């Protein structure tokens, strides 16, 4: 096999952001399917479009899998407490930031526009909070052998 593309190497390392069980069950197959897709595209612009689709897919799927795993994590009292604390911190930050964000919103836009910005910010924060924390924890537990084997 040729020396792996750096983007493939980065894509492979990002697999560590998936939940461990999902990664072990499907990680090698997702990577193999991705390599098959890339092998099937020779046009440069098509490959660039494919990489964009793959990046967006990975971002969405990592969040989706962590959220699906949330039920399993909630069975453990310590992780339940951690999740509750995280949501509390997010809620507190949102409450503290609300007057300032609302002020900015009403200065730059009308009231409805400002509230839309706030809503969007809260949505983005909630969407990335859980997978971000789980990703940090997952970084300490990264199986290297599966993907190294595929790339060699």
Give residues in contact with another protein (CB under 8 A): 22, 25-26, 29-30, 32-34, 36-37, 40, 53-54, 57-58, 60-62, 64-65, 150
* 37 vs 109, beta carbon nearer another protein: 37
Residue 23 and residue 143 in contact, taking contact as beta carbons nearer than 8 Å:
yes
- 137: tokens are 């924890």
CB of 130 to another protein, least distance (A): 17
Q: Return the number of the residue (114 or 131) whose C-beta is nearest another protein.
A: 131
> Least Å distance between CB 143 and another protein?
17
Closer residue to another protein, CB minimum distance, 38 or 97: 38
Compute the least distance from the CB of residue 145 to another protein, in Å. Answer: 15
Minimum distance, C-beta of residue 59 to another protein, in the bound complex (Å): 9
Is residue 24 within 8 Å of 138, Cβ to Cβ?
no
The nearest distance, CB 141 to another protein, in angstroms, is 20
The answer to whether 140 and 22 have CB atoms below 8 angstroms apart is no
**17 or 83: CB nearest another protein:** 17
Q: What does the chain come to in residues? A: 152
R_g of the chain computed on alpha carbons: 20
Pick the closer one to another protein by CB: 40 or 99: 40
Calpha distance 62→85 (Å, rounded): 22
Question: What distances in angstroms separate CA 69 from CA 19, 66, 142, one per listed residue?
Answer: 8, 5, 18
């Amino acid at each position: 096999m040729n020396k792996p593309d750096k983007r493939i190497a980065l894509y492979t390392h990002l697999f560590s952001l998936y939940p461990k069980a999902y990664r072990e069950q499907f990680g090698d197959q997702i990577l193999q399917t991705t390599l098959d897709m890339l092998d099937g595209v020779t046009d440069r612009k098509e490959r660039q479009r494919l990489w964009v689709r793959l990046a967006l897919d990975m971002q969405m799927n990592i969040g989706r899998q962590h959220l699906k795993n949330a039920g399993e994590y909630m069975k453990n009292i310590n992780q339940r407490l951690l999740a509750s604390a995280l949501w509390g911190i997010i809620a507190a930050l949102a409450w503290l930031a609300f007057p300032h964000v609302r002020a900015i919103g009403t200065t730059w836009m009308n009231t409805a526009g400002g509230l839309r910005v706030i809503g969007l910010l809260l949505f983005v924060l909630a969407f990335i909070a859980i997978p971000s924390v789980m990703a940090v924890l997952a970084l300490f537990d990264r199986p290297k052998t599966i993907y190294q084997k595929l790339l060699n």
